[in-house]
Chains A and B, each alone.
Chain A
Amino acid sequence: QVQLTESGPGLVHPSETLSLTCTVSGFSLTGYSVYWVRQPSGKGLEWMGRMRYNGDTSYNSALKSRLSISRDTSKNQVFLKMNSLQTDDTGTYYCTRGGYSSYDYWGQGVMVTVSS
């Protein structure tokens, strides 16, 4: 069955770089896009960026200068890297599947705290 699982550090220091991995199963990264979405605690959802099935990427305009998304299709993994983290980057980070009926499967999310 389709699964997405986020992994990464729970704590990141201010000004450092966040690295997250989304490991997928039950579908191919060359057939479906994967999106990253984040949610500050107690707030709404923010679309961060996507890795398209063909390897193209697109990013939230507000995060574009700090954000990079890549993938390793042989390992069924999509990576997120965001630099210059600040306290308002604290929140839960999700990966979700794109496609015809986008957002049909989600990971459980990984909580990231930015603190010294």
Chain B
Amino acid sequence: DVVLTQTPPTLSATIGQSVSISCRSSQSLLHSNGNTYLNWLLQRPGQPPQLLIYLVSRLESGVPNRFSGSGSGTDFTLKISGVEAEDLGVYYCVQSTHAPWTFGGGTKLELK
């Protein structure tokens, strides 16, 4: 199975600071159809996860554009350009290229 390794496990930030989260895959997530099925989710406390980014860099409808995704192959990054209080929670990457799908271990974003 594909292993997704997220770093750092915990991230402390001040409001307005820009931060990045890394997600590294044990094998390339480029599908034979040319798509790369790597998504980013945010789970706020007590809530189900919500989709932020799909297909590496496509912003889900309604998600603020301070969130951006990039990367290819095995290395991916989620960037938040100017953290806001509502961004606190746990971020997960998830791949849907190779069955069975797998999640990263999560990165907890907290206030410094």
Binding site for B on A (CB under 8 A): 35, 37, 44-47, 49-50, 58-61, 94, 96, 98, 100-104, 106-109
B48 to chain A, nearest CB (A): 4
Pairwise interchain contact B49-A47, C-beta atoms closer than 8 A = no
Interface residues of B in 54-106 (CB under 8 A from A): 54-55, 58, 60, 90, 92, 94, 96, 99-106
Number of interface residues of B (CB under 8 A): 25
With A44-B105, A109-B48 as given contacts, are A60 and B54 in contact (CB-CB < 8 Å)?
no
Q: Which residues of B contact A (CB under 8 A)?
A: 1, 37, 39, 41, 43, 48-51, 54-55, 58, 60, 90, 92, 94, 96, 99-106
- On whether the beta carbons of B49 and A106 are closer than 8 Å, the reply is yes
Q: List 13 A-B contacts (CB under 8 A).
A: A35-B101, A44-B90, A45-B43, A45-B94, A45-B103, A45-B106, A61-B100, A94-B48, A98-B96, A101-B39, A104-B60, A106-B48, A106-B50
B101:A50 contact, CB within 8 angstroms: yes
Residues of A contacting B: mostly: loop
Task: A65 to B66: give the CA distance in the assembly, Å.
Answer: 42
Closest CB of chain A to B102's CB: distance in Å?
Answer: 6
A91 to chain B, nearest CB (A): 13
Specify the chain A residue showing the minimal Cβ separation from B41.
A103
Residue in contact with A103 in the complex, picked from B94, B100, B104, B105, CB distance below 8 Å? B94
Contact B103 A46 (CB under 8 A): yes
Given the interface pairs A44-B92, A60-B100, the reply to whether A104 lies near B1 with Cβ below 8 Å is: no
Cα distance A101–B60 when bound, in Å?
A: 8
